[in-house]
Chains A and B, each alone.
Chain A
Amino acid sequence: MSRQQLADALGVNPQTVGYVERGDYNPSLELALRISEVFNLPIEAIFSRRPFKPLSEELYGRRSPQEAESG
């Protein structure tokens, strides 16, 4: 899904989607719920107060070689 398509689905400016994606703008609860509806995912799967772990680590408990090296 492109940024423009998501913006159209949410009824916001594409720039706003970009700012949310980058963490420069915290959306309102209303917008966050609309995003979770569009992706059909629970809100905690889309937003978190901490950076998300890589998908491989989430699913299989693996760490990337870079992370393993850094400890």
Chain B
Amino acid sequence: MTLSKSPDQTDASGARQDSQLWRRQRIVAMYAGYAALYGEILIHEHAARSWPAWLQASLWLLFAVTVLIILLTWGWLLSGAVRYGFGPGKPRRTGLAALRALKAQGRSASEVRAMVLPPPDERQQAVRYRAQAIAYQVSAAVVIAGALYGLLAGFFVPQLWLPHTPADLVPIAGALFLLYSTLPFAVVAWTEPDTPSQDGEGINDDQ
């Protein structure tokens, strides 16, 4: 469906502050960062003990940088700016005096909250439902695959690796935490098209 607009009126796609490509790069950086972190832990556990001190220090530095990348991208993904459909977006500016006036009118806290942080509109709700559905499908696939692997390794193919020690279990727990805490947001940030510019080109009244 096309909304009527002047043929001269173009989208400001050149100056996207939050383009889809940029969001995807950060999502990839977060999950790839975790995979790299796991690799670094394995190297530290199995190979780096015999390394010279300067090489071990370099590994620790790489470890710190990777953790920083993961934390930054994780925080960005959960922040309100990218939670299209999950949050109300920018809160409306409401001064202290206006809040006091609302309180004097006897408005409840939930009413004031709805005025300052408006509820998601129909598009945001649709985006939220779609992302939650996709996240559920991915989560279910991960759980089923893990359960099948556990059954296979536990009963039928004893040569397969199973986690036993805390060093095995902690990275798996970390991966599950990262996956389940970010999945719906990652789906939204990955699939949403480029954000329209905030200032926006006005819509002509003479259309």
Contact = CB atoms under 8 A, between A and B. Distances in A.
Q: Do the two chains belong together in a single complex?
A: yes
Chain B residues touching A, majority SS: loop
Nearest to B200: A3
A41 B84 CA distance: 30
A16 B124 contact: yes
Interface residues of B, number: 29
A65 to B, nearest CB: 13
- In the complex, which range does the number of interface residues on chain A fall in? 35 or more
Contacts of B122: 12, 16, 27-28, 30-31
A49 B202 contact: no
A3 B121 contact: no
* Listed residue (B2, B3, B11) with the most chain A CB atoms within 10 angstroms of its CB: B3
Interface in A28-64: 28, 30-31, 35, 39, 41, 45-52, 54-55
B58 interface: no
Interface stretch (B70-78, B146-154, B191-199): B191-199
A20 B198 CA distance: 14
Interface of B: 1-7, 11, 84, 88-89, 118, 120-124, 193, 195-203, 205, 207
23 contacts: A2-B200, A2-B203, A3-B203, A11-B118, A13-B120, A13-B123, A13-B124, A14-B196, A14-B200, A15-B196, A18-B196, A19-B123, A21-B5, A21-B196, A23-B3, A26-B1, A27-B123, A30-B122, A39-B205, A46-B4, A47-B3, A48-B4, A54-B7
Interface of A: 1-4, 6, 11-28, 30-31, 35, 39, 41, 45-52, 54-55
